[in-house]
Structure formats: structure tokens, C-alpha cells
A and B are shown apart, each in its own frame.
Chain A
Amino acid sequence: MSIFEYNGSALVAMVGKNCFAIASDRRLGVQLQTVATDFRRIYRIHDKVYIGLSGLATDAQTLYQRLVFRHKLYQLREERDMKPETFASLVSAILYEKRFGPYFCQPVIAGLGGDDQPFICTMDCLGAKELAKDFVVSGSASESLYGACESMYKPDMEPEELFENISQALLASVDRDCLSGWGGHVFLVTPTEVQERTLKGRMD
């Protein structure tokens, strides 16, 4: 079994009109046994930058703690929040530093950059950045997510429509993956507010 299928995860981020949405499943398992059904994979770095970490849960938590530390240092030095592009470079550098003994995480970073333009990107476990203009996916359900997002995505969606689209893409994809599911968590971020919703899904 692959190390990425040890805990199971599903993460997706989509770009809308002056907003973005990032969604994850809620299951935490140890191979085929479910251990928690309310596990959080998406973390807030600051008001306008969110990071979701899929893969091995222990590495995800360690990596998140290191990133929060680095961001707090940055805030103290620069007296402002990090831009999402800068944050993505930071994550990429931290992951590449461990090139020959990597963290088994695949981050999905989403944020509102300068002029509140949405920014999303994903990386493999070594930090190879992939910037996309439409959607990015990660996790054990990534193959299904690619398919669902490819067909359901439309450019320039309004926040309500974006929420429906990303939720349906997530729920459809985790139904085809044994290791992820048990509902969903969606963060929808616009320049003025953050909407956090919990989705009802199949509990199997």
C-alpha cells in the first residue's frame, strides 16, 4: 500500500469570480479502519490564505506547525501578512529541503492575492509547484477529483454557484474512493467574508 493511502484524503480548490473555495473530506483512517470522522485538513494561515494538506496526517500536522511558525516570524518582521504567492514559495522551499527524505504531504494552497485576485496552487511531496487558473486537486481521491472537476468546472462562477459546484465535485469523487469521505468541509472566501460549511455525505 502506498504511503499516501495510509490515512486517506481528498482535497480540492477552485477559483471563482473574485473568490475561491477550498474543500476537503472529513475521514481519518488507519488503512481500512476509520479512526475519526471530523478530521480537519484545511488550515487557516491568515484571513486570506488557506492551506489544505493531504497525505500522511502526522506529516501534515508537523508541516502545518512549521508553516505557522514561519508565518508568525514573517508577520513580526514585515508587519503584514504573507501574500499567497510568497507563501507557496515558502512551502515549496520547505518541502524541497527534504528532497531525499520527504514529508509525505501534498499541499493545496488557496488565497486572495493583490487586488483580491484568487490564487490556487498544488505541489507534489517534493515541492514542485503547479499553478492553475481553474482548479487543483490532491489526495487519495485525486483521480476521481480530476475527472469530476474537469467536467463540472466553469470559469467566473459567483460565490453561491462556486460553493454548489465544488461541493458536488467533492461528494461525487469521494464516493469512488474507499479511504475518503464521511462528509465534507468547505471554506468559501470572498474579499469581505469567509463562509465555512460542513456538508452531509454518505457515511461509508
Chain B
Amino acid sequence: MAKARVDLPPKGGFSFDLCRRNEMLTKKGIQLPGFRKTGTTIVGLIFEDGVILGADTRATEGPIVADKNCEKIHYMAPNIYCCGAGTAADTEAVTDMVSSQLQLHRYATRRESRVITALTLLKSHLFSYQGHVSAALVLGGVDVTGPHLHTVYPHGSTDTLPFATMGSGSLAAMAVFESKYKEGLTNCRDKCRRLEAELQLAGNCTSAAVRRSPVAEEGSREMVVSRRKRREIASCSSRLHLLREFGEWIRELAREDGIQLVGEAICSGIFNDLGSGSNVDVCVITKGKTDYLRNHQLPNPRTYISSRGYSFDRGYTEVLSTKITPLKLKAEVVENDAMEE
């Protein structure tokens, strides 16, 4: 019998056995196909409590839109997400692979994954393929050391930035970020500092008013004081209460500001870059919580469908032959325990 080579399932990694044949085809004048790219706008920014990532949702195959609502924000770890631009198969495969490696690492170390770990795994893989694995990524997450945002280029170089954009729409998005970033989000930090100063002042004010009044007791509502002093104390304590609530609200505002800025940057990419389009996906990562806002904005609804739709009569299509095969229901065999017999 001739020596048979069994086609066993491969052990992993790339297989190059069709390369020679493909080279021969190219020499004969046949063009190799274009791969599905994500012609994208992807962005990331760091705000006070964490990281916000954003992406559009169009996948292209040459000039044709292959997918109007694809997902470009990939899961890496519960606290780390990654947006991908470039060849779609490469971004999906590389993020899946690093996500599995991070999971194994979490099992081994029994700790939450760090963003820098994901970054190192990605850059070493991409560098070893010298840019042929065409994946440009925006990696963001929050770990024990704080919020981090990195960009990874197909050749393996990385940047660590407070705000970043990648993909064909990156210039449109960067224009929005460069003009609005500092103004929108640092204001909140200043607001918070001013708020803390005011809280302190209000606290002093209340205690001062109470001390000044001769018969007042601390925390007591029944104070025998003059009307003016009473009004002064009332206004101070209500202000204190309001300011405390305001503090919570300010924190919310920083997050909403950030999401709005990211939405604006992606919309800028969607409307000005032809390779990006459809909807806006946003992912907000903070310490202990991640919100994946899929289709956060839908600025391009379908408006051209006829309400009647197409309806064809039954039997309208000419059929040459029909074969109907009923599907057998598969019976489940429950094996009895040997002891029962």
C-alpha cells in the first residue's frame, strides 16, 4: 500500500502550502483578490474615570459596502477592549488570539489583566510578521494602575496617548479631537476643584453661623436665633446639600461630555470619509464597569424602502424540479444506570 499522508487537524499557526500555486497564477496574469477591509474611523480618549472607545460600523470590499453594521470594538478582557482597522480577517484573528492568551494568563496569575500585557502580546505578534498582518488597533482599558490608551500599528510600533484616532477617517476624527478635547474635559476637572473649595467654604460658613448664635446647638433644627441668623444658616446648609449632589452630577457630566465628543469625532469620520459610514458604536470602560453602547447613534437610517415592498405571487417562479426531504427527528437514547436493572 502506498504511504498515505493523513490530513490531520493542524497544530496552529499559518500554513504556506498554497503560496507556490498562487504565485504561479499571478505570473499567468490573474489578479489576486482584494480582501475585506474595514476602511474605518476608530477613536479612543481618556477621561477622568477611564477610557472611552468609539468606532463606525461599515465594512467594505473594494468600493462595495459588505456589511452595514459590523462590530469593530473587540473584546479582549472584561476591562480591556480593542478597536480594529485594516484587513478585517487580521483584526479579528489577532484580537481573538490575544484575548485567549489573556484569559489563560488570568487563570495562571489569578489577577485582572493589565492593558500593557495585551499591548505587548499584540506588538510582538505584529512585529514578527513584519507588517504583513495588516491590523491597526486602538487598545484601551482600565486596570489597577489606572486608565490606559494605546495605538498599535501594523508593523508593531505603539504609541501611548491621551486621545487617538486610526483608520481612513482618522484625520477627520483627529480634527474634532484636537479642537475640542482639552476644553471639554479639563473644564470638568477645574469644576470639581472649584466645587471642593466651595464645599469647604459652605462647611465653614454653616459652622461659623452656628457658633456665632448664642443659643444654637449643633445639628439641631430648633434654634432660638434671630431671623437674619436663621436665614443665613438655612441658606448655608441647603447650599452644602446641593453642592454635594452637584458633585455627583459633575462626575456624570465628564462621562457624558466624553461620550459626546467621541460621537462627534466618529460622525465626522462617517460623513467626511468614504470608507467609514453607518452607525456609531461606543464603549465606556471605567474601574469595575464596562458599558458597550452598541449603535449608540444611528445617523444614517434607511429611508428608501417602499412601504408596500415586493411581493410575488405563489408559483410565480418557474420551477423545473422539486424534491422534498422530511427531516427525521433525532431520538435521544437515555442510557439506564447499570445498577437499576
Contacts and interface: CB of A to CB of B under 8 A. Distances in A.
B is a partner of A: yes
Interface of A: 1-4, 6, 47-48, 66, 69-70, 73, 92, 95-104, 124-130, 132, 142-143, 146, 151-152, 154, 160-161, 163-165, 167-168, 171, 183, 191-200
Interface string B4-44: 00010110011111111110010001111101100000000
B327 interface: yes
Interface residues of B, number: 57
B212 interface: no
Interface of B: 7, 9-10, 13-22, 25, 29-33, 35-36, 59, 61, 64-67, 70, 87-90, 92-93, 132-133, 305-306, 309-314, 316-328
Given A124-B89, A164-B314, 18 more contacts: A3-B31, A73-B9, A101-B17, A101-B18, A101-B19, A102-B33, A125-B33, A126-B36, A151-B306, A154-B310, A167-B317, A191-B327, A193-B325, A193-B327, A194-B325, A197-B322, A199-B317, A200-B318
Given A2-B33, A96-B93, A128 B87 contact: yes
B294 to A, nearest CB: 13
Nearest to A99: B14
Contacts of A101: 15-22
22 contacts: A2-B33, A3-B33, A96-B93, A99-B90, A100-B19, A101-B19, A101-B21, A102-B22, A104-B33, A124-B33, A124-B61, A125-B33, A130-B36, A130-B70, A132-B67, A152-B309, A154-B310, A161-B311, A168-B317, A193-B324, A198-B322, A199-B320
B132 A100 contact: yes
- Secondary structure dominating the interface of B: loop
Contacts of B16: 100-101
A98 B18 contact: yes
- Secondary structure dominating the interface of A: mixed
A130 B325 contact: no
A132 B67 CA distance: 8
A163 B318 CA distance: 12
Given A99-B133, A193-B325, A200 B319 contact: yes
A196 to B, nearest CB: 5
B322 A124 contact: no
